[in-house]
Amino acid sequence: MAFPYMESVVGFMIVMYIFETYLDVRQHTALKLPTLPKTLAGVISQEKFEKSRAYSLDKSHFHFLHEFVTILMDSAILFFGVLPWFWKKSGDFAVLLGLNAENEILHTLSFLAGVMFWSQITDLPFSLYSTFVIEARHGFNKQTIWLYFRDMLKGICLSVVIGPPIVAAIIVIVQKGGPYLAIYLWAFMFVLSIVMMTVYPVLIAPLFNKFTPLPEGSLREKIEKLASSLKFPLKKLFVVDGSTRSSHSNAYMYGFFNNKRIVLYDTLIQQCKNDEEIVAVIAHELGHWKLNHTMYSFIAVQILTFLQFGGYTLVRNSTDLFQSFGFDTQPVLIGLIIFQHTVIPLQHLVSFGLNLVSRSFEFQADAFAKKLGYASELRSGLVKLQEENLSAMNTDPWYSAYHYSHPPLVERLAAIDEPDKKED
């Protein structure tokens, strides 16, 4: 008797939904607490706390509904054989367009077009409500409905342009790969990730946002001086118009080798009235670079990608696996989708492990900025970002341990303050 792969996958998905809902309930209970954590009392204003609490509870209620609908749809799609039915119908659709459905690449592209259309339709109500009700209610949404749909159309057009060549290449590699398939697939994805990291900030990101050089002045001088002192090869310093869509703030850096760029959200500059707070946030980001966190994370992703492709090569010809999900053929894309579903348990463990590492990196980057003399500025900058983004002030320890890639503010402030207490 064949192993019930599909039933096992659906069963695990439901078990994980129950477990994660339990964590969500714990977090929801923490969010309802009427007082600030002791560490933040007197640091965060009561007004900001009340606003943060209302925003977090709104998002939490919405999250419960979204996750419930998602697990119902995902389980039904697998359990009732919607995937094989959709695969067959996409072949019929390709024939209607005058295409050869026997050509796996054309059949797959037809299937993906249908999946993209379906996902856009099912995600749209949730996305609209999140953006134009929750985000707007709490003063974050700045985009018009026109801008929202324009961004959506741009995203669809990019998928139509970029997606087919990538999908076609993967199918050809799997068909021709032979015993070294995992290596070829990994090599292709490695090159693709390098190309996308190079192309995205230069060609794709400007389609959605406007990037302008940070004007001459004290802030620019301080950032350039800091970068120079750390031998960070800063080539360009941009401000991005994040305020056209949201009042949330951020900063990031990108680029390879000696061509690094730093991007500040205009909202970050507006919210941090003190240049030193912004410089402290940049010092934290430069800490990630100096301590090789970005490189370690990239290497970890490459190793995990290779292991995933290695696992896929072991099961890609398993007739039992495909038949369990209702397929009598073995298309490449379907095999990848099924494999991703069957390794969900491992993915949850890996994600948890990566979050642990990420939180450790955040503490190290904070310590790096502190060592440069930015302890008080980083502290006030983190508090300002927490306040302005209305981030959750009270967090459940189990929930944050499982979900958060960044430590809660309470833990970061305690870590920044702790060495000072030891020195006193």
CA 342 – CA 318 distance, rounded (Å): 13
C-alpha distances in angstroms, 339 versus 116, 316, 397?
A: 20, 8, 32
Tell me which of 366, 387, 396, 411 is the catalytic residue.
366
What are the Cα distances from residue 274, in Å, to 50, 224, 264, 373? Answer: 25, 17, 14, 16
Concatenated DSSP letters for 13-63? HHHHHHHHHHHHHHHHHHHT-SS--GGGBTTB-HHHHHHHHHHHHHHHHHH
**Structural contact between residues 83 and 29, judged by C-beta atoms closer than 8 angstroms:** no
Q: What are phi and psi of 261, to 5 degrees?
A: -135, 145
- Strands 234-240 and 260-265 turn out to be parallel
Among this protein's residues, is 423 annotated catalytic? Answer: no
- Termini Cα distance of the chain: 70
**Looking at 135, 285, 377, 388, which residue is catalytic?**
285
Is 63 annotated to bind a ligand? Reply is: no
| CA pair distance 239, 70, nearest whole angstrom | 36
Among this protein's residues, is 102 annotated catalytic? no
CB 171 within 8 A of CB 333: yes
Question: Of 362, 392, 359, nearest to 378 (Cα)?
Answer: 362
Q: DSSP assignment, residue 242?
A: G
28 is in an annotated binding site: no
In the structure encoding, which two tokens stand for residue 124, read together? 């749209």
Q: What is the largest CA-CA distance in the chain?
A: 79
Q: What DSSP state is assigned to residue 236?
A: E
Residue position matching structure tokens 């495909």: 322
Q: Confirm or deny that 284 is annotated as ligand binding.
A: yes
- Catalytic positions, written as ranges: 285, 366
Binding residues, as ranges, are: 284, 288, 362
